[in-house]
Amino acid sequence: MPASDHRPVAGIRVLELAGLAPGPFTGLILADFGADVVRVDRHGDSFNTDTLTRGKRSIAVSLKSPDGISLVKTLVGPSSSSTSSASSRPEQWRADVLIDPFRPGVLERLGLDPEDLLKANPRLVIARLTGFRREGPYSKMAGHDINYLALTGVLSMLGRAGDKPYFPANLLTDFAGGGLMAVVGVLAALLERSRSGKGQIVEIDMVTGTRYASIFPLTVARPSTGMPTWSEPRGENWLDGGAPWYEVYKTKDGGYMSLGAIENHFYRVFLEIFSKELSSCADLPPHPSPDTQYDRSTWPDLVAFFTAGFAEKTRDEWASLFLNTDACCVPVLERHEVDAQGRGPGEPGRALDDETAADGGGVPAPAPRLVRTPATAGASDGPFLEPGRDTVEVLEAAGLGGKVRALIEAGAVSASDPKAKL
């Protein structure tokens, strides 16, 4: 099926209150698929370390200023021109979606109570992202990805046998359980709005979201399922490093190969190629039989055989041998070897240019892939977005062009656009 040239959420306007990873990731995805995303940075900041800026613009607003709070209320309120059928003016910039990345109670203390915002604009969708659940003993506490993951029951399942639990950086909770779940919630709310005409508050907490994203291991690990995939202690299961045929092995040149031959028919293909290439190596452990793949008593010998075998050739030699086979064995690529489309060496598509390779690889493109039509005019190409770069432009689009100078002088906003004419 050919890729679509339609950006599915084009025309949707998003006001993203600046925050850490999950909130910006939510905005990034919405921008990638067509939304006009404006990040609200802190007034006075000259730099924001957020790199998830592709397709976004920035305004800098003081949320400690009554004028700044009033401005945010205006940007998420109904457009005066859109409420008048007699008006011939273009619709003013007003948010369809507000992304709230703050801890429980912060919006309310700022004077931006979501219930009040919905009363002012019943079509607004408010995505509220918290780490811990909004209610409960941890709700008022500070935390990060590793803390939220610790409360899901999932962290206890990750890691090597006999070792402490091991966390997958901040990928699982911040991005899968947080940002991606927020995008799903926003899109569902927008779909419902298209039928009812009403917005709503979408609550996302990373503990619940991560449990949902981890539904497979949490379900199959139940004794009642009787499934062998995740029935043993940490690090002794099929998919967590316990099984020798689902593992990463070091090669002769210090590279690595990933082996994921779970099903026996794939395992047979792998073993046939692997054993054939090692047939002349007399000092290796005995070659295994494919019939004993799931026999746990054979796994220690399998680990020894695979470890010694992969060390006989370089990563690229093994990669070439397994390419175009069903052995489920491919190389572990370094980030500088992968381009923005996820392609590695030998795959169709462009190769990394020298500059991109030196910088550690391409920036991932949106998935599913779309044929990109032009994004919001003047939006960021990343990785950094200067706070307040688009303050004047956005406020003019909101019908507030005549108030920009007064807002700047009052300390409610700041503008860093050198081309802005005030």
Q: Which residues are catalytic?
A: 174
DSSP 346: T
Candidates 58, 36, 37; CA nearest to 46 is: 58
Element (H, E) at 196: helix 181-196
Q: Is 31 helix (H, G, I), strand (E, B) or coil?
A: helix
Beta bridge partners of 37: 14, 56
Beta bridge partners of 249: 257
Residue 60 backbone dihedrals phi, psi, to 5 degrees = -115, 120
Contact between 364 and 375 under an 8 Å Cβ cutoff? The reply is: no
Candidates 70, 76, 130; CA nearest to 100 is: 130
Helix, strand and coil in the chain, % to nearest 5: 35, 10, 50
Q: What CA–CA distance (Å, rounded) separates 310 from 308?
A: 6
Quote the tokens at residue 376.
């919001």
Sheet strand arrangement including 256-260: 246-250, 256-260, 329-331
Q: What CA–CA distance (Å, rounded) separates 66 from 73?
A: 11
Give the CA distances from residue 406 to residues 63, 94, 125, 328, 387, in Å, rounded to whole numbers and listed in that order: 16, 20, 30, 63, 19
Q: What CA–CA distance (Å, rounded) separates 407 from 67?
A: 7
CA 130 to chain centre: 15
The total of other beta-carbon atoms located within 10 Å of residue 215's CB is 9
Residue 17 backbone dihedrals phi, psi, to 5 degrees = -70, 125
DSSP 253: T
